Copies of this chain bind each other. A is one copy, B any other.
Amino acid sequence: MTSPDLSSALSRLRAAAPLVHNITNQVVANITANALLAIGASPAMVLAEEEVGEFTPKAAALVVNLGTLTAPQRASMHVATEAAIEAGIPWILDPVAVGATAFRLGTAHSLLERGPSVIRGNASEILALAGEVAGGKGVDSAHRAEAAREAARRLARRSGSVVAVTGATDYVTDGTGMLAIANGHPLLTRITGTGCTATALIGAFLGAGLDGMAAATAGLAVLGVAAEEAAQRATAPGSFQVALLDSLYTLGDAALARQARVSAA
């Protein structure tokens, strides 16, 4: 599989400044909004069932994240994804801890029926969503990304979505080809919300008009390269989180092209 051309992905996103509608969790809402602003998108967190049907069609992309799922939020997710489909707006699903409870798995399965453009999870989440392992524990992955590569491919084929599995190396597949993104840094696992941030960045690239494979690849490469830059200035999680936001803001197309390690896998 040929790597998508990312040489102008960042400038394209910044020119579009896409409005990204997030129905996300309470833990990461702030850092997600800040990451989207840093990269050049315009985030909005609009949650109520009463209004998401009216709001989603104004956005360029929709991000649905199950992190702190509640029954009212599940209802909003159904309305918003329905509106996204009707309006032709791309959307991405982040099935946080989907293997941990029946409530999450049921919600994720019903959302899958609406055909997300992209699904992004860690290995445990993708394995659980694909039905290939029972259970799972918390929000941190108990599996390495490699263990979920083939499950991701099958899930992509079945769902029609691009599937991204994130870990030390990330994998992105449309059910046929598979790309590996070998950027990142271990400190990404020591601050909360980096997976959710990856999802939101992919959402921003979808909103800027990239297709699923290109958006997933760009979002993960951007986060990975920004993390590598941040880790040169910060060696502990508090300062790393600050440096990561700074790097998302200062990163340009040239540095991204030079540092991204994307290959067929």
Contact = CB atoms under 8 A, between A and B. Distances in A.
Interface stretch (A143-151, A177-185, A212-220, A235-243): A235-243
Interface string A103-138: 110000000000000000000000000000000011
Interface string A61-90: 000000111111000000000000000000
Contacts of A140: 42
Contacts of A101: 46, 50-51, 54-55
Contact of A237 (B68, B100, B238, B249): B249
A69 B51 CA distance: 9
Interface in A1-54: 19, 25-31, 33-34, 37-38, 42-48, 50-51, 54
A211 interface: no
A245 B237 contact: yes
Contacts of A58: 100, 137-138
30 contacts: A19-B137, A26-B26, A26-B45, A27-B29, A30-B31, A30-B192, A30-B193, A33-B192, A33-B193, A34-B192, A34-B237, A37-B191, A37-B237, A42-B139, A42-B140, A43-B139, A46-B68, A46-B101, A47-B70, A48-B70, A48-B71, A54-B103, A55-B100, A55-B101, A70-B72, A237-B245, A237-B246, A237-B249, A239-B246, A241-B245
A245 B191 CA distance: 10
A244 B37 CA distance: 17
A97 interface: yes
A38 B242 contact: no
A82 to B, nearest CB: 16
Contacts of A239: 242-243, 246
A25 B30 CA distance: 10
A45 B25 contact: yes
A2 B46 CA distance: 40
A61 to B, nearest CB: 12
Given A30-B31, A46-B97, A51-B104, 8 more contacts: A27-B30, A28-B30, A30-B192, A38-B238, A42-B138, A46-B100, A48-B71, A58-B100
Given A26-B29, A30-B31, A249 B190 contact: yes
